[in-house]
Structure 1
Amino acid sequence: MYVDFDTLPESARVWVYQANRPLTDGEVKSIDEALKSSLSQWEAHGQPLLASAQVIKNRFVVVGVDEGYTLPSGCSIDASVRTLQNIGRQIGSGNEPVDFFDRSAAIQLADGSVQTIVLPALKNAVSDGTITPDTLVVNTLVNTKAAFSKNWLIRAADSWLKRYFKKMTVLPG
């Protein structure tokens, strides 16, 4: 059963999917409609799942399910992945394809827009100062609605990117 995302409990399980490119407003509308239809019928072992989804910053799809209502099964989670793959193919036809499984680092720029940096370019982005320890990065590893609400954007130094920052030592003056 599809519900408004805001009505999901804080304990709801979430998955964050990152598109490989910015989505148009029309594509976001198509995604919202397709997910509402799909999640309205989403079930695990014949039991309906209480679920929702939202598109954030025309780039990220957040799917949530109330595990206190019905636990999703491996098969139902696989079905949601297939749904996103199908949506990506459908809205990408005629345009650049949409891959919701992009693993580039997504950073928020000062103007609030999102830029992605492919994995092979991360070291250079740190070296040239594009990414600093204080750069806000999108945390796609959150797994509950509460974690999503509180830790959607985190400092690069507090994310998986921390390995790219060398420890700085302060010399006594």
Structure 2
Amino acid sequence: MQVTDLADRSRIWIYQADRLMSEHEVNEITRLGQNFILEWSAHGAALKSVCEVRYGYFLMLTVDDNQAMASGCSIDASMHFVKGLEKKFQIDFFNRMNVAYKSGGVIKLLKMSEFEDALQAGTLASNTIVFNNLVSTVGEFKSNWEVAVSHSWHAQLLPA
């Protein structure tokens, strides 16, 4: 099952890696994620959920709220899971100061300040595709995750 197979109102958490994961890492993280979601629960109720890695950079956890809603404890458990992955694979999933964008179909990462400088210099433009990891539902993910700078929160970095 993929993230997009869940209902649009399902919750999603997107964690962006600070580097491209190897194929082995993606496979291992996917396997560990499948094991995690089999045990993931809220107040004793199993959560209908999906763990997916996209493009070698993005770890996604989703919960279908139609079956059972994620609780504070279950969200804490997911954070603990991701922190464990960070330690095991030496990947930072919580650095929100990196911006992922597409250039010629290839995903690249820049520090926020470097991304802003590239926009100001015209090296990157308002139509550059960025990843809006702030989306919180599968519906938002489908329509607003891969978007042009001008249609995301990144627009505030565009030159006046």
Aligned-residue sequence identity (percent) comes to 30
| Alignment correspondent of 1:115 | 108
| Alignment correspondent of 1:100 | 93
Matches within 5 A, 1:21-170: 21-90=19-88, 92=89, 97-103=90-96, 104-110=98-104, 112-167=105-160
Q: 2:157 & 2:145 partners in 1: Cα distance?
A: 20
Are 1:131 and 1:156, in contact at CA under 8 Å, matched by a contact in 2?
no
| Alignment correspondent of 2:12 | 14
How much is the aligned-residue C-alpha RMSD, in angstroms? 1.3
Uncovered stretches (5+) of structure 2, i.e. residues with no partner? none
**Equivalenced residues, count:** 158
Q: 2:116 & 2:70 partners in 1: Cα distance?
A: 38
Q: Report the Cα offset of residue 162 of structure 1.
A: 1.3
The residue identity in structure 2 corresponding to 1:78 is: D
Q: 1:131 & 1:102 partners in 2: Cα distance?
A: 22
Q: State TM-score, norm by structure 2.
A: 0.92
Bigger Cα Rg: 1
Q: 1:102 & 1:121 partners in 2: Cα distance?
A: 15
Uncovered stretches (5+) of structure 1, i.e. residues with no partner? 168-173
Q: 2:28 & 2:13 partners in 1: Cα distance?
A: 19
**SS across alignment from 1:114:** strand
Q: 1:132 & 1:60 partners in 2: Cα distance?
A: 23
Are 2:132 and 2:153, in contact at CA under 8 Å, matched by a contact in 1?
no
Q: 1:141 & 1:130 partners in 2: Cα distance?
A: 24
- Decide whether aligned partners of structure 1 residues 57 and 45 sit closer, same or farther in structure 2, where only a CA change above 3 A counts: same
Q: Report the Cα offset of residue 153 of structure 1.
A: 0.8
Are 2:133 and 2:145, in contact at CA under 8 Å, matched by a contact in 1?
yes
